[in-house]
Amino acid sequence: MKPESFRTPRRRLLSDRIARGLVSGGGMATIAGILGILFFIFIEILPLFGSADVALTARFPLDGEEPGAVVVDEHRTHAATFAADGQIVVRSLATGDVTHRLDSGIDPTLGPWKRIQQIPGEPRVAIETAGGDLFALTMDWTIEFDEATRVITPDLSRAVPFDFFDEETARIPLQQFSLAFDDDGAIAGAAITEDGRLLFARQSIEEDFMSGEETTVWERTWREAPGDVSSLLLDRQHTNIFAGTESGAVIWWVIDDGEPQEPRTAENEAPITAMTFLIGDQSLITGDVTGRLGVWFPVPSEGGGDRLGRIRGSTQQKAPIVGLSPSPRDKGVLSVDASGGMALYYSTSNRLLWSGNSPVGASSVLYYAPKANGAIVAGADELALLDIDNPHPEIGWNALFGRVWYEGYDQPERVWQSTGGTDVFEPKLSLTPLIVGTFKGTFYSLILAIPLAVLGAMYTSQFMHPRLRRTVKPTVELMAALPSVVLGFLAGLWLAPRLEMVLPALVAMLVIVPAFVLLAGVGWRSLPNGYRHRFPDGFEALLQLFVIAIAMFVAFRLNGVFEAQVFAGDVRQWLFDTTGLRYDQRNAIVVGLAMGFAVIPIIFSIAEDAFSNVPQNLVSGSLALGANRWQTVTRVVLPTASPGIFSAIMIGFGRAIGETMIVLMATGNTPLMDWSPFNGFRTLSANIAVEIPEAPHSGTLYRVLFLAAALLFVFTFVANTGAELIRQRLRKRYAQL
């Protein structure tokens, strides 16, 4: 034997080295990839909890205009200022140069403009001349494309006059006024006159059917009003007038049939200095002298009817609020106070997203850009363009898990309703109904699955002949392979309609089936021993199969009788009368049955393994000491196997939590927060499946759905790890046996 042949050829050593590198690299990469999933999901969630950022982009000097209002186009290329000398100047926001000077169409002989008011949330301005004439102007922009470059030109509408007073009445100077355009373009206005009265005027255009002639019809109504009104607002639906007073009251008139009704007053505790509406004109925002913001909308009052309730507020700013501008895309509002401070507040989630200082100081002239991505503020001699980065204002801890008082609701509630039909919809993103739904589905399915699976496993492992066990175990394991789509389909389309009709039979089954089973058991045991021993142990299970089938058949046959006797002929009506619960066709019972079916094989396999792993000497010892089979199983085997049973249940629990298809197909998918077994629910997983295809990439809903996925992961992680830990610990405890 030559020494050389003992040395391993280089090639083999090299391939070994390469293999090591490949396997290690590939293995680590795979594992990193799998763990990276969690990392990726958590990264997608993080931006949800960030704040907004408001940054100064540009500032330009004005030549002595002192604008009373400013409007910017949606691409933030031009800004139009409205000044008291009647000048409407359009500037480019890239260079600051004046690009257009527009003619308002208002007769200059009427005098300089005494008041210039921005209509909240719209590119419209209401102007009062020195002579007391009122006009409304709309600033529009036309967009054209000249060889792939965008050209934006201002398009000012003709000034629309608004007459609070008709020809006969003498004009009284107006202390406050507010104009509003509704969706059809009709104008209405509310005003407080200097002699202390409220005036509501509405203009409508009537078309004569015959001649097609259009006539303008005015309705004007008067009411009494307090004298110290500091701000006045009419909403765009022309149904509510709000007034803020210097004594700290907020007064609300409902307009019914063209006439303001009895006012309702609410207290703010500090004089009101500014008011605006949030988008949609459902919520009123007030700013007061202490710097507080308040959010108000109608809520039910004790004596019936509605009152104006202060829902929530912000207390960040310390100086009186001088300017407010609502976001045109969401329920946020920019506020400026007398010390030059500025803040961005979001109503629904009650979050102060940003606070800082206005670059032009304490000016009330500000305008939130149409795409909610910026704002323009104008001081006496300066114009500043701001960039607003506000990706997820709707999210806060309270918005996700707590009760929120949404617009139009009677009280704070937890609601999931991510989209509505309109632009002004308030997204309701509480995850609590979904979490409750998830656990509800899990609960009802485990109620069915645990007894059937554990008892069945116990029987299979302890009482059954090994030969029979060899057929039963794989059958149940095959059950585990059934795709949940099929289960969901059968549950939703086959089981649900039939269940509705045999509900009484189902209740009867709870009594009839055990009765038949026990009788059959007694019957089986009273057979002479000779007969019985012909069949293998565990044959009783097969016998019970027929017995249960017969019992169920009997129960279904008696369904009508049972329904008539016990449920007064109509089980659904009886249910409603007794408990007030409604019965939906696709409900938690159906899901419980289907999901229970899906979970049973998992619990069964693991539990059966646990039972079978109990050392045989324990069983033999117990039997030798005189216990019968049942006592042995319940008092010796069951406690010993309990770690395994427990872990089986936990793993079944984890599986039930994440089940998507069955829930999707067998429930009504309504996000209710209700434990009744007779109505549907929506789980986290089904919600993700339904909503994520439509969720805009990187939007709030998208990230919230990622958050839901992360929650699901956490739940299953806790369940699985808990199961594993307990199993290891209890296994050590019983290991010495």
When the beta carbons of 395 and 708 are compared against other proteins, the nearer one is 708
Structure tokens at 734: 């019983």
CB contact at 8 A, 52 and 390: yes
Size of the site for other proteins (CB under 8 A): 105
Angle, to 10 degrees, between the axis of helix 432-462 and the axis of helix 700-735?
A: 30
Tell me if 481 contacts other proteins by CB under 8 A. Answer: yes
Instruction: Tell whether residue 486 is a contact of other proteins (CB under 8 A).
Output: yes
Q: Contact with other proteins (CB under 8 A): which of 485, 515, 561, 568?
A: 485
Closest C-alpha among 315, 354, 358 to residue 336: 358
Phi, psi of 76 (to 5 degrees): 55, 45
Amino acid identity at 428: K
Residue range at the interface with other proteins (CB under 8 A); choices 16-24, 138-146, 266-274, 411-419: 16-24
User: Any contact of residue 705 with other proteins (CB under 8 A)?
Assistant: yes
Nearer to other proteins, 702 or 734 (CB): 702
What residues contact 524, with CB distance under 8 A and at least 6 apart?
532, 540, 543
- Closest CB 212 distance from other proteins, rounded Å: 40
Report, in Å, the least distance between residue 619 CB and other proteins. 15
| Closer Cβ to other proteins, 212 or 693, answer by number | 693
> Which CB sits closer to other proteins, 32 or 566?
32
Q: What minimum distance in Å lies between the beta carbon of 19 and other proteins?
A: 4
Q: Which residues pair with 193 in a beta bridge?
A: 174
Rounded to the nearest whole angstrom, what is the least distance from the CB of residue 432 to other proteins in the complex? 19
Q: 62 with 357: CB under 8 angstroms? A: no
Interactions with other proteins, residue window 630-669 (CB under 8 A): 630-631, 634, 651, 654-655, 657-661, 664-665
Binding of other proteins by 716 (CB under 8 A): yes
Would you count residue 688 as binding other proteins (CB under 8 A)?
yes
Is 613 a binding residue for other proteins by CB under 8 A? The answer is: no
Please state the closest distance from residue 609 (CB atom) to other proteins, in A. 13
CA distance 326 to 591: 45
Inter-residue contact 666 to 591 (CB < 8 Å) = yes
Q: Do 78 and 72 contact (CB within 8 A), yes or no?
A: yes
Of 319, 720, 726, 731, the one binding other proteins (CB under 8 A) is 720
Closest CB to other proteins among 159 and 591?
A: 591
563 is an interface residue for other proteins by CB under 8 A: no
Q: Interface with other proteins includes 545 (CB under 8 A)? A: yes
User: Looking at beta carbons only, is 274 or 431 nearer to other proteins?
Assistant: 431
47 lies in the binding site for other proteins (CB under 8 A): no
Among 182, 713, 726, 731, binds other proteins (CB under 8 A): 713
How far is residue 304 from each of residues 185, 299, 355, 409, measured CA to CA in Å?
Answer: 34, 10, 40, 15
Minimum gap (Å) between residue 592 Cβ and other proteins: 13
Please identify which residue in 206, 423, 570, 724 interacts with other proteins, judged by CB under 8 A.
724
Asked if residue 319 binds other proteins (CB under 8 A), the reply is no
Residue 116 DSSP label:
E
Q: What does the alpha-carbon distance between residue 563 and residue 561 come to, in Å, rounded to a whole number?
A: 5
What are the backbone angles phi and psi of residue 385, rounded to the nearest 5°? Answer: -105, 130
In this complex, which beta carbon is closest to other proteins, that of residue 430 or of residue 660? 660
The residue assigned the tokens 């009003």 is 225
> At its nearest, how many Å lie between other proteins and the CB of residue 488?
8
How far apart are alpha carbons 233 and 240 in whole angstroms? 8
Residue 133 corresponds to which amino acid?
D
Binding to other proteins (CB under 8 A) within 564-603 occurs at: 597, 600
Helices (H), ranges, 419-538: 432-462, 466-481, 484-489, 496-501, 503-526, 529-532
Q: Which helix (H) or strand (E) holds 397?
A: helix 397-401
Taking the least distance from each CB to other proteins, the nearer of 189 and 538 is 538
Q: What is the DSSP letter of 340?
A: S
Using CB under 8 A as the binding rule, whether residue 148 contacts other proteins is answered as no
Q: Which of residues 436-475 bind other proteins (CB under 8 A)?
A: 451-453, 455-456, 458-460, 463, 472, 474-475
**Which string of DSSP letters, residue by residue, matches 587-643?**
-HHHHHHHHHHHHHHHHHHHHHHHHHTS-HHHHHHHHHTT--HHHHIIIIIHHHHHH
**Residue closer to other proteins, measured from CB, 289 or 479:** 479
Sites for other proteins among residues 509-528 (CB under 8 A): 513-514, 517-518, 520-522, 524-525
According to the binding rule CB under 8 A, does residue 722 interact with other proteins? no
For other proteins, the closer CB: 517 or 581: 517
Which is it for the CA torsion 107, 139, 322, 377, positive or negative?
negative
Instruction: Determine which helix (DSSP H) or strand (DSSP E) holds 428, and give its type and residue range.
Output: strand 428-429
Q: Among 334, 343, 320, 338, which Cα is nearest to 278's?
A: 334
Q: By CB under 8 A, is residue 558 in contact with other proteins? A: no
Residue from 102, 186, 479, 673 in contact with other proteins (CB under 8 A): 479
Choices 165-173, 267-275, 354-362, 492-500; region in contact with other proteins by CB under 8 A: 492-500
Distance of CA 357 to the CA centre of its chain: 33
CB of residue 27 vs other proteins: minimum separation in angstroms? 2
Cα distance between residue 72 and residue 513, in whole Å: 75
Q: Does 689 bind other proteins (CB under 8 A)?
A: yes
Q: How far is the CB of 688 from other proteins (least distance, A)?
A: 5
In angstroms and rounded to an integer, the radius of gyration of the C-alpha atoms of the chain is: 37
User: Could you count the other beta carbons within 10 Å of the beta carbon of residue 470?
Assistant: 10
* Residue 625 interacts with other proteins (CB under 8 A): yes or no: no
C-alpha distances in angstroms, 17 versus 8, 10, 20, 23, 219? 13, 10, 5, 10, 93
CB of 575 to other proteins, least distance (A): 19
Specify the residue, 335 or 716, whose C-beta has the smaller distance to other proteins.
716
Closer of 349 and 544 to other proteins (Cβ): 544
Smaller CB distance to other proteins: residue 433 or 658? 658
The residue assigned the tokens 């009704």 is 261
* Helix, strand, coil percentages in the chain from 3-state DSSP, rounded to 5: 40, 30, 30
Say how far apart CA 688 and CA 703 lie, in whole Å. 11
CB of 360 to other proteins, least distance (A): 38
- Residue closer to other proteins (CB basis): 351 or 727: 727
Output the smallest distance, CB 498 to other proteins, in A.
10
Cβ closer to other proteins: 193 or 669? 669
160 or 708: whose CB is closer to other proteins?
708
